[in-house]
Every structure is written in C-alpha cells, then in structure tokens.
Amino acid sequence: MKKILKGGRFTPDNYSDEIEEKIQKLRKQGMKLPPRKILRTPEQIEGIRESAKINTALLDYLSEKIVEGISTAEIDRLTYEFTIKHGAIPAPLNYEGFPKSVCTSINDVVCHGIPSHDEILSSGDIVNVDVSTIYNGYFSDASRMFMIGDVSEEARRLVQVTKECLEIGIATAQPWTRLGDVGAAIQEHAEKNGYSVVRDLCGHGVGLKFHEEPEVAHFGKRNTGVMLLPGMTFTIEPMINEGTYKVFVDEEDDWTVCTDDGKLSAQWENMILITETGNEILTR
C-alpha cells in the first residue's frame, strides 16, 4: 500500500565507533539525517525479517494461483487464509477503512484496487498484487506484477521496464547516499524508455508501523533528500505509466487510483534494509 506524498535530533547507539563518528560529522555539517526512531535495532531487524518471510511466502503461494478466470475476490480470500494460517495479520485489512486484505490493481489502475467478485482476470490483463503482513507486531510490504494469458508486447515491455526501475532503485539505495539519488535513477530509466513516473504516491518506511518515514519518491534530483543510514527499512515501489504521470482517485470507493488518461500502469515493490556495506532485500 502506497503512501501519499506530503510536503529530531539523531542519537545513534547501535553502531561501531567509526560509523558513529562519521554520522556525527555529517550532522555537524548540516546534512539532513533520518530521525533516530526509524533506525532499527538488531532485535527489530530480526522481527521484520520474520514478517518479510511470511510476506514473500504469500506472494510465492499466490503466484501459483493467479491465472486467467480467477476473481480478485478469490485472491483476497487466499491472501487472508494464508496469512492467518501463518499466525500473521493482513496489514491492509481495515487500514484507514480499506475493506480487503490485498490490493489488486488491473491495467490502468495504478494502486489500491479493491478486490471484487465481479472482477475476473482475463487474457491480456496485467495486474499488480500488493500484500503487506503484520507478524508479532512487525510489518512487511511487497508487490508483484502478473501477466495473464496473451499479453500485448506493449504491456510486457511496460512490466519489464518497471521491474528494471525497481532493480535500479535498489542498486542505488546504498549507505551514505541521498534518497534523491534513488528517485532520480528510477525517473531517468523510466523516461529514457518513454514512460512517466507517478508523482502523487510514493514508497515509505515500514517495519514498526505500516507507514513511517522516509517518504520514498520515485522521481527527483540527485544529491538531495535525507542521507541513507544503516538500519533504515523502507519500500521502493515505482509506479510507471504508459502515458501521463497524472492520476485520479475513484470517487465511488475513495481508494482506487487510476491513470488520468486510461493507459496502462505497472508497479513492482520490494522492502529493503540499509546495511553498513550496502542493502538487503527483505522481500522478493
């Protein structure tokens, strides 16, 4: 589930003396640093990893079930039953009034599609399935694209380039770099391929809550934004459109986000941990 873009003093206690000294130097230089509360302790990281394992297993399970003819309501049922069976809770269910356990977003739906018995996957559809899990109080979040039956070459290319955008964003998200570098790298790859990046929604910190700092825009300028430090956990989830980047929210349900021009949209999402030497993909 995406966070909508909105327009403390840092006191580390989990790092080596060398890392802590580097952080304090950056702070004195006036570098924008993340708040201490979003830097995970080793115990928290282990809890988040366990939640992420269930989240990934759920997506693997759904991957075997999502075929032509299945309803999105059935995907929701499978999601709920699998999650509960594994001692976890579907994070989207009743979150700020969202009525289902999973988001299913088909073709021109960018995100937050609400599952329905009337919505049947057909040959040619592309669908994003976004699942989020709470396990022992820890949150995880990821999504995958699925191509149903005979999908057009244009749709396949959009799905592939969007996945490349995710991979480029993850590769760019390294310790001691700026968050703006991640958005810029994604935007450059999308626009080079003739696509646009949704700007009204973003990735987000996640772990102890569903949505935390930082907001992770998938467009932007290099050398801007908060510094990425070891211990941060957040999603990278580019939403890439075939046409305009502009979107609107369906007035009937106040959740479903669609492309403004009715053209296709695709999105892939993973959750990562910034480490002292790089990053760790917590979900797949």
180 located within any domain:
yes
Pair of tokens at residue 136: 């022992």
140 located within any domain:
yes
Read off the pLDDT of each residue in 8-24 and give the average, rounded to a whole number.
64
Summarised one tens digit per residue, pLDDT across range 203-213 is 999 999 999 99
Read off the pLDDT of each residue in 56-76 and give the average, rounded to a whole number.
98
8 located within any domain:
no
Summarised one tens digit per residue, pLDDT across range 147-171 is 999 999 999 999 999 999 999 999 9
> Which residue segment(s) compose the domain that 124 sits in?
14-281
Nearest to 131 by CA among 103, 163, 159: 103
As a whole number of angstroms, the distance between CA 15 and CA 18 comes to: 8
pLDDT over threshold 50, residue 9: no
230 located within any domain:
yes
pLDDT over threshold 70, residue 279: yes
| CA-to-CA dists, residue 31 to 23, 160, 200, 223, 249, angstroms | 9, 36, 26, 11, 36
| CA-to-CA dists, residue 216 to 37, 76, 137, 225, angstroms | 17, 27, 23, 10
As a whole number of angstroms, the distance between CA 174 and CA 180 comes to: 12
| Contact (Cβ atoms closer than 8 angstroms) between residue 141 and residue 55 | yes
263 located within any domain:
yes
Summarised one tens digit per residue, pLDDT across range 175-231 is 999 999 999 999 999 999 999 999 999 999 999 999 999 999 999 999 999 999 999
9 located within any domain:
no
| Predicted local confidence at residue 185, as pLDDT | 98
| Predicted local confidence at residue 13, as pLDDT | 53
As a whole number of angstroms, the distance between CA 158 and CA 240 comes to: 8
| Predicted local confidence at residue 36, as pLDDT | 85
What residue type is assigned to position 61 of the chain? Y
7 located within any domain:
no
Summarised one tens digit per residue, pLDDT across range 79-130 is 999 999 999 999 999 999 999 999 999 999 999 999 999 999 999 999 999 9
| Predicted local confidence at residue 115, as pLDDT | 98
Going by pLDDT thresholds of 50, 70 and 90, the confidence category of residue 10 is very low
Read off the pLDDT of each residue in 64-72 and give the average, rounded to a whole number.
98
| Predicted local confidence at residue 59, as pLDDT | 98
As a whole number of angstroms, the distance between CA 174 and CA 181 comes to: 10
Q: Which residue has the tokens 């669609």?
A: 258
Alpha-carbon Rg of the chain, whole angstroms?
A: 19
The CATH number given to whatever domain includes residue 53 is: 3.90.230.10
2 located within any domain:
no
CA 143 remoteness from chain centre = 7
| CA-to-CA dists, residue 244 to 36, 94, 106, angstroms | 37, 31, 17
Number of domains, the chain: 1
Q: Hey, what long-range contacts does 14-17 have (CB within 8 A, 24 or more apart)?
A: 14/39, 14/41, 14/42, 14/231, 15/230, 15/276
